[in-house]
Structure 1
């Protein structure tokens, strides 16, 4: 997963999940969600309800002492997250779901280079075939800085790509089917290795895919035109 996805607005999330506690600032749909952005996350409460919170995309473990956050922590590999020190504690007791409309990957087009330069990579958009929201498996951490201010941070769990996405990129998010989400969010489930094997085996891999405009390459660009199919945009180079 390359680190860019479409996050839904709050009304979409509330239609898809029964929310208990809500984030005070409603979420708007973002078509170009980037690392370090505040993103919607669902966490399980002790009473079994769901809490909708805002988390910063870029995991910082609660034991981290440096002023600068760790690098390359927007994603965690499902194959190793249950055992690696960076993720181990969160995998055992701090799991979450990130609602998503879909995600982007970039593929290198085939063909000869021109003037010694390879053709620019082509962005693709992946989403549920029926248009429903996706549930990315995530890990969260609540870290307090030197001033005591708490920040909720999150990483998206990834797996080796299968199905259509494997033709574009080697990895994809762990997309949880509805029947697996309660188990993933249950903090009482502590057998991390078994849970990792379960989500890797049962996660959804069959998704719809389409090439989209290169507008998404610029993180400042926003709007529904970012996920329009090239055949409809009429401007494959933009």
Structure 2
């Protein structure tokens, strides 16, 4: 996943918040275009996250993956299946948007990395669920997990899952509405409205290895 500061169009919030966009550009410039990776024992990067604070969207730096008892969770936590949230919507009590300009998936069995996104230069939001955690040093931090769904047919041969992309028209609801099965269903319907715009291209610098670590 990547969030670059050179985005030319932001499809993130229904009413673009200039302070948030400037904050993202500043963060991206500092990050120098590196790929975002899950946070952990060896990678202590905190990634940009948009949450609702006091009725307004706000930019925060968050830990990708859950912390349990001061340590990275022993169970997989960087992604959460949309089907699981449909069955247990209470797990989506606290939600966020992960700003990104693209993300990466490996096509098997040839192990070719592909870059996914909307049109070039478009900044978009991925659905995430959040919870508070405590770092090994005792610091309280927001932790997040990206919500994943099955890919549409035209992408299925490359990878079987993709993030739930939230269009601007549904961003406010995703950040503020009460957790329910209906909310998850509506988010999936909203995400499907972007399916025809999602592109996937092999990485030009792919050599069978993972994208650059953050």
**TM-score relative to the length of structure 1:** 0.71
1:186-232: CA deviation from partner (whole Å, max 9, x where unpaired): 1xx2242111111112203221221113258345468xxxxxxxxxx
Instruction: Give 2:178's match in structure 1, choosing from 171, 183, 190.
Output: 190
SS in 2 for 1:106: strand
Shift of 1:31: 3.8
SS in 2 for 1:133: strand
| CA pair 24-104 structure 1, distance change in 2 beyond 3 A | closer
Work out which of the two has the higher radius of gyration on C-alpha atoms and give 1 or 2.
1
What is the aligned partner in structure 1 of residue 202 from structure 2?
211
Whole-Å separation in 1 of the counterparts to 2:127 and 2:134? 24
What is the aligned partner in structure 2 of residue 42 from structure 1?
50
Shift of 1:55: 0.6
SS in 1 for 2:187: helix
What is the aligned partner in structure 2 of residue 88 from structure 1?
90
Shift of 1:45: 2.0
Retained in 2: the 8 A contact 1:163–1:205? no
What is the aligned partner in structure 2 of residue 70 from structure 1?
74
What is the aligned length?
A: 197
| CA pair 44-99 structure 1, distance change in 2 beyond 3 A | same
Instruction: Give 2:60's match in structure 1, choosing from 53, 57, 62.
Output: 53
User: Any gaps of 5 or more consecutive residues in structure 1?
Assistant: 110-119, 223-238
Retained in 1: the 8 A contact 2:80–2:147? yes
| CA pair 45-220 structure 1, distance change in 2 beyond 3 A | same
Whole-Å separation in 2 of the counterparts to 1:165 and 1:75? 19
Shift of 1:44: 1.1
Whole-Å separation in 2 of the counterparts to 1:122 and 1:199? 30
SS in 2 for 1:98: strand
User: Any gaps of 5 or more consecutive residues in structure 2?
Assistant: 40-44
Counting strand residues as a fraction of each chain, which structure ranks higher? 2
| Aligned-residue RMSD, C-alpha | 3.0
**TM-score relative to the length of structure 2:** 0.78
| CA pair 45-123 structure 1, distance change in 2 beyond 3 A | same
Whole-Å separation in 1 of the counterparts to 2:112 and 2:142? 33
| CA pair 81-129 structure 1, distance change in 2 beyond 3 A | same
Shift of 1:68: 4.5
Note the 1:8-27 alignment, pairs <5 A.
8-9=4-5, 12=7, 17-18=16-17, 26-27=26-27
